[in-house]
Structures are given as structure tokens and as C-alpha cells.
Amino acid sequence: MRVDVVSIFPEYLAPLELSLVGKARTSGLLDLRVHDLRDWTDDRHRTVDDTPFGGGAGMVMRPDVWGRALDDVLTPEAHLLVPSPAGAPFTQRTAEELAGEQHLVVACGRYEGIDARVAEHYAARARVTEVSLGDYVLNGGEVAALVVVEAVARLLPGVVGNPESLVEESHGAAGLLEYPVYTKPPSWQGHDVPDVLLSGHHARIARWRRDQALRRTAVRRPDLLEALDVARWDRHDLEV
């Protein structure tokens, strides 16, 4: 997969050289290129923003600068992602869909955002999706670019060593939060690992994990439980 990230702070994307994503790049599974938006400015001050029409606080990123950048970076296959607190929620489902793309371009806005004509203009030429990480405000799209690239890259074949790690996780196929996990030592600071996990009883362990996942989800994310397919519940799920 090819990914281009355009930002006025390309150094913000440095963590993508580390860990699994870094390895995916050096092994050739991920062709990730980070660009400085100011390379497409044409004035001495390398200006990327201006005051908003209609008034108000803050600055808006200029469409002409973004236009030159995106004309250079977009390919006919590209899917353009624009991080924004006003975007559609970025979920595991979004990551799964994007993992099937050949080319992603992430346009990181700063200030009050990018002139709205940019998304409108490129929607005629490419798929354009505005994505939000959640209901809070960040200073710009760079952190979202980190999130999107990591969430998508780990779904590419060969990036995660053991593909089984991908199936049983929070927000995975079951639609539940993950159950709690434990390792050695069996007793630490007076806290003991639940006996069932030391029992070697695989069916009981699976039952316990399912119950824990359900309880956690009911307490922390009741919205996820409501969205669950009732047909996939079993009799034991409904016991208290």
C-alpha cells in the first residue's frame, strides 16, 4: 500500500519510522511518504493560511496551496482522507475498508481547518472522506494521521507477525471490548490471577473470558452492546 501524508509539521510523523509501521516500511509492505505542505507555497514567507471570509477567530488553510500539493500527490486510485473534528467517526470498520485501498493520501489541516472548496473539488476526482478520532478537539490532523496509518497498516497482510492477534481483539468480530489479560507472576502485590485461568480448563476459560468481555462492555460501552446481533448471543450470556 502507498500512503502520502501532507502536513506543515512533517516531523510530527516521525513515530511512523518505529515499531511495526517502521518495519512495514523497510520491508516494502508500506510505501509511506511524508510531505511538507510549504513545499507548494509560492511566496517568500511560505504562507499556507489566511483570515476566514465572514469573519471570526483563527485562520483557514488556503485552497490554492492545498490544490497544488494534492494535484502532485493524488493518483487516479487515491482515496483522500481529511482529518477533522467535523468528520465521520474513524472506527475499526473504517480501518478495515481503508486497508483494501492501493493509495491513501492524508491531508493534515491546522488552525480552523482547510478551505471547504478543497474537499468539494477533489470529490469530483477521487473518493474523499473527512474522518474524526472522537468528540474532542486536537490542534491539527497530524495525530489523526498517526492513528489512521497505524490502524490500517497493522491490517495489511504480513505486517502483524501472528495474524491471530488480529481476530480476538477489542472492536474485533465479536463487537465487544477485550477481556482482561494476565501473565506471570500468578500473585503480585496481593493481587491474584483468577483461578480459572490457571485451571487448564479450556471451555471454562473461554466462558469466563466471554463473560468478562460482556461485563466490561456493559459498564464501559453500553452503546456497543446495544449494537450487538442478538442472534449471536448464547444462553449463558444472559445469566447474571
Show binding-site residues for S-adenosyl-L-methionine.
109, 133-138
Cell matching residue 4: 502520502
Secondary structure of 170-229 in the HEC alphabet?
Answer: CCCCCCCCCCCCCCCCCEECCEECCHHHHCCCHHHHHHHHHHHHHHHHHHHCHHHHHCCC
Cell matching residue 208: 469466563
User: Residue 69 belongs to what H/E stretch?
Assistant: helix 63-73
- Does position 136 bind ligand 6GU by CB under 6 A? yes
The CA radius of gyration of the chain, in Å to the nearest whole number, is 22
Minimum CB separation of residue 182 from ligand 6GU in Å reads 33
Per-residue binding string, ligand 6GU, 31-50, x by CB under 6 A, is: --------------------
Cα separation, 94 vs 84, whole angstroms: 15
Select 65 or 142, whichever has its Cβ closest to ligand 6GU. 142
* Cβ contacts of 80 within 8 Å, gap of 6 or more: 70, 74, 105, 107, 119, 122, 126, 127, 128, 129
Task: Please give the residues from 144 up to 203 whose contact with ligand 6GU meets the rule CB under 6 A.
Answer: 144
Count the neighbouring beta carbons within 10 Å of the beta carbon of residue 190. Answer: 5
Select 115 or 209, whichever has its Cβ closest to ligand 6GU. 115
- Does position 138 bind ligand 6GU by CB under 6 A? yes
- Does position 133 bind ligand 6GU by CB under 6 A? yes
* Nearest-CB residue for ligand 6GU: 83
- Does position 63 bind ligand 6GU by CB under 6 A? no
The residue within the footprint of ligand 6GU, chosen from 73, 78, 81, 84 (CB under 6 A), is: 84
Minimum CB separation of residue 85 from ligand 6GU in Å reads 4
Give rounded-to-5 percent helix, strand, coil for the chain: 40, 20, 40
Select 134 or 172, whichever has its Cβ closest to ligand 6GU. 134
Minimum CB separation of residue 125 from ligand 6GU in Å reads 22
Select 94 or 132, whichever has its Cβ closest to ligand 6GU. 132
Q: Detail the DSSP E strand segments found in the chain.
A: 2-7, 31-36, 49-50, 60-61, 79-89, 103-107, 127-132, 187-188, 191-192
- Does position 89 bind ligand 6GU by CB under 6 A? no
Binding segment for ligand 6GU (CB under 6 A), chosen from 80-88, 172-180, 192-200, 214-222, is: 80-88
Binding site for ligand 6GU (CB under 6 A): 83-85, 87, 131-134, 136-138, 140-141, 144
